[in-house]
Amino acid sequence: MTDPTPLEGDVYVSPRYLAGLPGHADPSFDPVKHWPHHHLDDGPFQTVVTSPDHRIKIGWAGDDYDVWRISAAEDALSRATWTATFNQNTPPEIVHGLTSALAREWSTDTDSFLADPSYRWTDAVQPLLDAGWERRPLAHGTVEIVAPDGLAGASIDVVGTGPDRETVELWAGPKGWGTRAEAIFTARTPKHLIAATAAAFVDPTPVARYKNNLDPRLAQLAQLTPVEPPKPPAPTPLDVQQTAAARRRPPALGTRSVPRWSTATLPPAAPGAALSARRR
């Protein structure tokens, strides 16, 4: 039997978009762990993960404000067609929504992660609408969609022009350096990739965190559930067979303490002792 994977955290956080960054980005890189990793000593990024043909780049800054920068280009040397950035308060489980979609789609003979066949802005945020998030009226060229709890939303620029303008922002948490999570996508980002990220926002699965590492304001707003110790794994058929065999085995005979009486004669008394006894 193998031990269950240890859980990094003592509480489950729900909704997950209030969980913040746990101090590492592991979940976001799990889908692309088989891609080339480049560890850099200079520049804004500590690590850059690329697709094998270098058309997709995932940069991790670590100690910056925008800690993830993800982009895709027509070839390894071309300018990025689109860019997505995630700030330091974004849970890596949400970034996982985008990186897992890229890992599924990438191949040397496809460009679905570059082309955007949809012209409807609603396609980018359809998972939010399906989850019951409220669509507010158009104001100043922007459509706002807000979660039922008012603690997350999306802003979509529907009138701006320019291929590099920031058209979609997914956000969560109250405004502030340590609380507001932001994911921003430029205009030519395929809407199905934005939707994959939005789906990670509304995924009801809670995420594990250490309570002491949570921002106190997020901890007050989120629902925290203590993590219960993992249950012992179920016995294998071999375990059951060995246990049954042990029960059928007859008990070993025990030993019983038996008093042993000495048959040795006492040694003769010393001469001086015998003489003293006669004089009494």
213 has a pLDDT exceeding 70: yes
Residue 162 pLDDT: 87
Residue 278 pLDDT: 47
274 has a pLDDT exceeding 90: no
260 has a pLDDT exceeding 60: no
Whether 99 maps to a domain, the answer reads yes
Whether 216 maps to a domain, the answer reads yes
Whether 28 maps to a domain, the answer reads yes
- 214-224 pLDDT tens trace: 999 999 999 99
Higher per-residue pLDDT: 75 or 44: 75
CA distance 116 to 186: 12
23 has a pLDDT exceeding 90: no
Residue 264 pLDDT: 52
Upper half-sphere CA count for residue 84 (Cβ side, 13 Å): 32
Whether 213 maps to a domain, the answer reads yes
173-207 b/e with 16+ CB inside 10 Å = b?
beeeeebebbbbbbbbbbbbbbbbbbbbbbbeebb
Residue 119 pLDDT: 87
Whether 233 maps to a domain, the answer reads no
Residue 62 pLDDT: 84
State the CB neighbour count (10 A cutoff) for residue 11.
21
Range of the domain at 173: 12-107+118-226
Cross-strand pairs, 181: 172
Whether 39 maps to a domain, the answer reads yes
Residue 3 pLDDT: 43
Share of the chain above pLDDT 70, in %: 85
Alpha helix (H) residue ranges in 106-264: 126-130, 191-202, 216-221, 237-248
Give the strand pairing for 37-39 and 11-14.
Answer: unpaired
- 228-259 pLDDT tens trace: 866 677 778 777 777 777 777 666 555 555 55
Cβ distance 160 to 168 under 8 Å?
no
Higher per-residue pLDDT: 269 or 186: 186
Residue 275 pLDDT: 43
Structural domain tally of the chain?
1
Average pLDDT over residues 33-52: 92
277 has a pLDDT exceeding 50: no
Higher per-residue pLDDT: 160 or 179: 179
Whether 134 maps to a domain, the answer reads yes
Whether 132 maps to a domain, the answer reads yes
pTM of the predicted model as reported, rounded to 2 decimal places: 0.79
